[in-house]
Structure 1
Amino acid sequence: MKSLSFALLAATLLAGCNSSTTSNSGEASAVSAAALLTPGPWRGELATQGQKIPFLFEVKTEASQPVVYLINKGLNGEERLRCEEISAAGDSVTIRMHVFDAALVVRADGKDKLQGTWVKYDSKMPYRVPLVATAGSETDTVKSIYKRMPLVGFTGNWRTTFRDDTGSSYEAVGVFAEKQRANPPVHPDQNLTGTFLTTTGDYRYLSGYSGEKSLSLSTFDGSHAFLFTGKKQPDGTIKGNFYSGKSGHETWTATLDPKAKLPDADTLTYLRKGESRLNFKFPSIVAGASISPTDPKYKGKVVVLQILGSWCPNCMDETNYLAPWYEQNKARGVEIIGLGYERSPDYQQAASRLLNMKKRFNIGYDLAVAGVSNKDSVAKSLPQLAKFLGFPTTIFLDKKGVVRSIRTGFSGPGTGQYYEEEKAHFNRTIDKLLKE
């Protein structure tokens, strides 16, 4: 009966999206595709670079509407990213990826099975990766990994180096937590969670499997698809590969180190010598308005500048924290300004993406269109900065408008204890500035 409700809804959506008259055969094909979006758990696989990146999602019916939740498990529980923009046309169903400018476009492939593509629209050419999904069953990748027994301990902090195909490298900290399973497993469940922290943010919720001397961790949030594979060496180190989306590839090596840590995030981005303030005036996402830190609204208040992009998952994590925090604390004399750097240089498109983000996270603070999503754009629009590393970056202004602290990156909820430390640091900084 639930499958039938999806069929009827899809037909309605199709009628609403198509101004022309649809033939009976066209309606039937649309209904057939939507009917296979069976409510309940699903497992998908993205096929890229000769690898399979598994992901989980759940189909639900809410207020007679179909809703898809992307599910990512991590060190600190799981996240469920709600995707309610679902439409049908012909024999295909399009599931928009919540705040991101991306979608899953799928069609029927037998009973309770879908095939299609993950499409990213925020690039010069649509970015497409093939996918398959099966209702309530394990993927081939999961089955093959489960044959790897017994477990080898990966729990702990790992000092990590990533290196791309050109030889360029960067440091990270891998944080893994492994749980013991029955051998053979009684129930097919992921037994390894973790993430990698870098100077510009973390790789968010990662989960997967370990066995023998190997591990596999992955995530899919609608904007990014990551797969980390690794194998423990005789000397105890891990050597592995990192696959990102359609073509990104890096290798990584890691050494167990309980004291592994990154450079102080408050020292990586800084002002040019002799500078103490940021002078800008950017167009607001509200047409015809502009935003500047010298506006009367911000006078005498502590102001937080959030350099972000709607395309950036770490920015999503920070926004998910800042939006409710602002509502609870704005009466204390604190304001936040979101400076959006979007994929498109067109104001209307950029403002539209930021407005969508504002609605999604119920953002009550001001958002501006500051530029396009690259470091050079930030450097040009904020010339007082001597160095800019990445998104997000958070800048704290005191009550006189003086820059007092600049923090690079954001450790989100997928990092466990590091997320708690991130929030504590933010509140300490605000409390100190408010007391002055």
Structure 2
Amino acid sequence: MRHPVQKLAFNRTNGRLYLAAGEKLQEFDPTTGVLVQEWSTELIAADETKDEQPKKKKAKTEQAKVVRNAFRTLSCSEDGRYIVGSTDELKSLVVLSTTDLSLQYSRKFPKRPSALAITDSNETLLLGDKFGDVYSLPIVPSAGSKPGHSKLSSAENESGYDIEPIFGHVSMLVDLLVTPEVEGARYAISSDRDEHVRVTRYPEACVIERFCFGHMQYVSQLLVPSWAPTTLLSGGGDDFLARWNWTTGELVEKIELEAYIGAEPSEEDSEFEVAVSGIWEIPELKIVLVFDDNSKKLLSFKIPESQSEPARFLSSKKYDLLDAAVSGTNGEAWLTVYNSSESEGPEIKKIKVDESGVITEIEEALAKKISETASFEIASRADVLALHPVSLLRKHAEH
């Protein structure tokens, strides 16, 4: 059987589609379905474990440690030159050239990276980890950079570049973005497991501009629509999608999701719980797609540019969705869907969203070709490198 595709990224500069499944990354030409090139985190895993010293309390073994290093985040820089991802087991940042998927830079972090944002300068990225720290570092360090002192251990700091957190949360950081320029300034907006949405000046990250208060559960997804730069959409474990004016902290609107999801409580649960695991924009239509991981519903909403107008629900469609990547043209997007059949491989779909928000599958033969070509062979379902569902972020009262 084949490993499900867990992460997608679309490069709007060269028009290529990137698929990450477990520890492998593949690049496809989405116009022909042809596999162009491939890269694996096994390459950095081999380097990391080769020189790793055994802990004093553990017996030495001749057998090398097996590292299963899945991609957790995946993004393309706006200029299309780099594809950037973070991995689980080695807690590493990986930067690859989109020209030949050659490794440009990698480094370990003290805690597992959980969120990643690339600034529009395409030179700097922000990385947040499960400890709540946020780091700022160049996508590719310059040749003249010199090693500096770091609080990381020598093994963790072997790439030699000094990094320090620029700000942090007291809880696991879940999502992170950098805003477009508003009145001559930029800001970093971050969210955590403790319902906080924080607006921080960037790069003067020592200054907290404000918090957006209104969530009662974890906030797993943030989006500033490109056509409404002062609007922030946030969602997670609450039964609503919050629409903010992030420049003032005002909660403009609560977009209730339960009415559109139409889910019923299960026999085990007395109450259905929303779990927003994805928010993507269709900029040419001023539409956003929102996915609820519990009901498996992909919802489309019209988000007006003016905050005085309410958002409108448009349509919904059911998918067991793992990730999505919007192409940025003609309302088209790529989806990776969980396939429960062990006899079949990854399931990739291409969709089109029209002006009324209706979601339609298109070019099914091409999507099927990519699904069949994606070579992520594994022995059994036990070998799937699991990325924990967002619903596990919910905190339940202890009895």
Give the TM-score taking structure 2 as reference length: 0.25
**Larger of the two Rg values belongs to structure:** 1
Give the TM-score taking structure 1 as reference length: 0.24
Structure holding more helix per residue: 1
